[in-house]
């Protein structure tokens, strides 16, 4: 039988796996512990922190979708990252994208930095800059591509080659693109990370994180850390993710279509100074994005004329919600400077261009005409209030 398409794989995670009932929707197993058949015998499940049937089904499906060997589900994206970075030791050096989620910066610098990890933030869209940042104690490279919130694109193939040459763990945060649009393991990634709260969940109703390992050995090491730390995803939330993955392919198609139309509309609007979206030919890494992904995703950011105007736009939105997070079916807008990236130092944000005139838009799957109409009226109201 030929290999199934990813959309089909996502729909059929867990289907027919419950042999006791033949349930199409895999059941929720809320049990905290499991009865042993006898002394020295196990059903394969002992204690729910160590393993749960619903979580195992989800984790196996996530590994298949990403093309990895071992998937692990956590209570949040930050729990997944924390567990991953506890693989490293005091004195180790990590290189990370400078265009990165503010919560990741907070974890690496303000938490793990206190435990002796050394972090350097570089423009990972510049392979030479990554190489120049390497030190004798460098152990890993963490890349978000597209970046957050400026949507910079990093060359996964070139960075994968660089990591193999220098024996670094290559970690790719694939939250914005999902395995439906981008496959980091094909470019040499060792670990793929997701805030599954976002597109994998897709409905703004579950908080979750995912790690997928390329090899069984690394997967077993990460499982040891997951079991030791215990920040696992609950059976109910695992089931919600299983449900959501069934429509991931369709949702990503619509996110992608809507975002492209909105980016093109914004680029022509007189109130907008710049639009950051890899799908636009004006994006500096447009060709690279095309070469390593099958779409451009549903995330974009744009700059208006002033901080005052940005605030007025946010106040005037009606359909679009002024809210943090991203990747849900509903369109959300946020002000990264004071919200998602609030913990990044002012000097670094100024250098990157993250200020109060920059707005980030998570484009939902509503009718695109309704989203554009809301943006239009919010811009018009902001102009009147100026």
369-383 pLDDT, tens per residue?
Answer: 999 999 999 999 999
Structure-token pair, residue 17: 């796996």
Percent of the chain at pLDDT above 70? 99
- Round to whole Å and give the CA distance between 147 and 341: 12
| Candidate list 70, 183, 198, 316, residue with the active-site label | 198
Half-sphere exposure of 255 (CA within 13 A, CB side): 34
Structure-token pair, residue 227: 């079991």
Out of 82-86, 157-161, 175-179, 338-342, least confident range: 338-342
121 as an active site residue: the answer is: no
Half-sphere exposure of 84 (CA within 13 A, CB side): 33
22-75, pLDDT tens digit by residue?
999 999 999 999 999 999 899 999 999 999 999 999 999 999 999 999 999 999
Q: List every span in the chain annotated with CATH 3.90.1150.10.
A: 248-385
Q: What's the confidence (pLDDT) of residue 179?
A: 98
| Candidate list 26, 29, 101, 199, residue with the active-site label | 101
Structure-token pair, residue 206: 């579950």
In this structure, whether the domain defined by 6-245 belongs to CATH 3.40.640.10 is answered with yes
271-317, pLDDT tens digit by residue?
999 999 999 999 999 999 999 999 999 999 999 999 999 999 999 99
Q: What's the confidence (pLDDT) of residue 1?
A: 62
Mean pLDDT value of segment 260-266: 98
Architecture of domain 248-385: Alpha-Beta Complex (3.90)
Mean pLDDT value of segment 338-343: 84
What's the whole-number average pLDDT of the chain?
96
Is the model more confident about 74 or about 344? 74
Exposure class string for 182-214: b at 16+ Cβ within 10 A, else e: bbbbebbbbbbbbbbbbbbbbebebbbbbbbbb
Alpha-helix runs per DSSP H in the chain? 6-11, 53-66, 77-85, 102-105, 127-132, 156-166, 178-181, 216-229, 235-245, 248-268, 286-292, 307-316, 346-352, 368-385
- Round to whole Å and give the CA distance between 130 and 160: 12
101 as an active site residue: the answer is: yes
**CA 181-52-225 angle, 5° bins:** 75
| Candidate list 17, 34, 49, 355, residue with the active-site label | 49
Structure-token pair, residue 324: 């943090």
49 as an active site residue: the answer is: yes
| Candidate list 173, 190, 237, 337, residue with the active-site label | 173
Given pLDDT bands bounded at 50, 70 and 90, which one contains residue 343? confident
- Round to whole Å and give the CA distance between 62 and 294: 19
Q: Give the largest CA-CA distance in the chain.
A: 76
Q: List every span in the chain annotated with CATH 3.40.640.10.
A: 6-245
243 as an active site residue: the answer is: no
Q: What does 110-145 look like in DSSP terms, one character per residue?
A: IIGGGGT-EEEEE-TT-HHHHHHT--TTEEEEEEES
């Amino acid at each position: 039988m030929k290999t199934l398409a990813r959309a089909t794989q996502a729909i059929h995670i867990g289907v027919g796996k419950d042999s006791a009932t033949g349930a199409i929707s895999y059941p929720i197993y809320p049990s905290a512990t499991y009865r042993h058949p006898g002394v020295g015998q196990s059903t394969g499940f002992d204690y729910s922190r160590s393993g749960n049937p619903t979580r195992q089904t989800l984790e196996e499906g996530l590994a298949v979708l990403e093309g990895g060997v071992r998937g692990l589900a956590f209570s949040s994206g930050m729990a997944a990252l924390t567990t991953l970075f506890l693989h490293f030791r005091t004195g180790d050096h990590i290189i990370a994208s400078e265009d990165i989620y503010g919560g990741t910066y907070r974890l690496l610098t303000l938490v793990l930095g206190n435990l002796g990890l050394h972090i350097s933030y570089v423009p990972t869209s510049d392979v030479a800059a990554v190489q120049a940042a390497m030190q004798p104690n460098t152990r890993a490279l963490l890349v978000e591509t597209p970046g957050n919130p400026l949507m910079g694109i990093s060359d996964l193939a070139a960075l994968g080659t660089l990591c193999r040459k220098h024996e670094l763990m290559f970690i790719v945060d694939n939250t914005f693109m999902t395995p439906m649009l981008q496959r980091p393991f094909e470019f040499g990634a060792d670990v793929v990370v997701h805030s599954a709260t976002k597109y994998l969940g897709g409905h703004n109703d579950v908080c979750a994180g995912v790690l997928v390992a390329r090899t069984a050995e690394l997967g077993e090491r990460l499982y040891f850390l997951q079991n030791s730390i215990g920040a696992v995803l609950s059976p109910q939330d695992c089931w919600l993710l299983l449900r959501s993955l069934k429509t991931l392919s369709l949702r990503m198609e619509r996110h992608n279509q809507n975002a492209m139309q909105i980016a093109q509309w914004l680029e022509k609007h007189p109130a907008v100074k710049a639009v950051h979206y890899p799908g636009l030919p004006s994006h500096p890494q447009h060709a690279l994005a095309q070469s390593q992904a099958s779409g451009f995703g549903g995330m974009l950011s744009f700059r208006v004329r002033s901080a005052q105007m940005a605030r007025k736009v946010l106040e005037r939105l009606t359909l679009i919600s002024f809210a943090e997070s991203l990747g849900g079916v509903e369109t959300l807008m946020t002000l990264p400077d004071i919200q998602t990236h609030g913990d990044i130092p002012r000097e670094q944000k100024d250098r990157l261009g993250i200020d109060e005139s920059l707005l980030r838009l998570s484009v939902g799957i509503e009718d695109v005409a309704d989203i554009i109409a809301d943006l239009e009226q919010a811009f018009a109201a902001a102009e009147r209030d100026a």
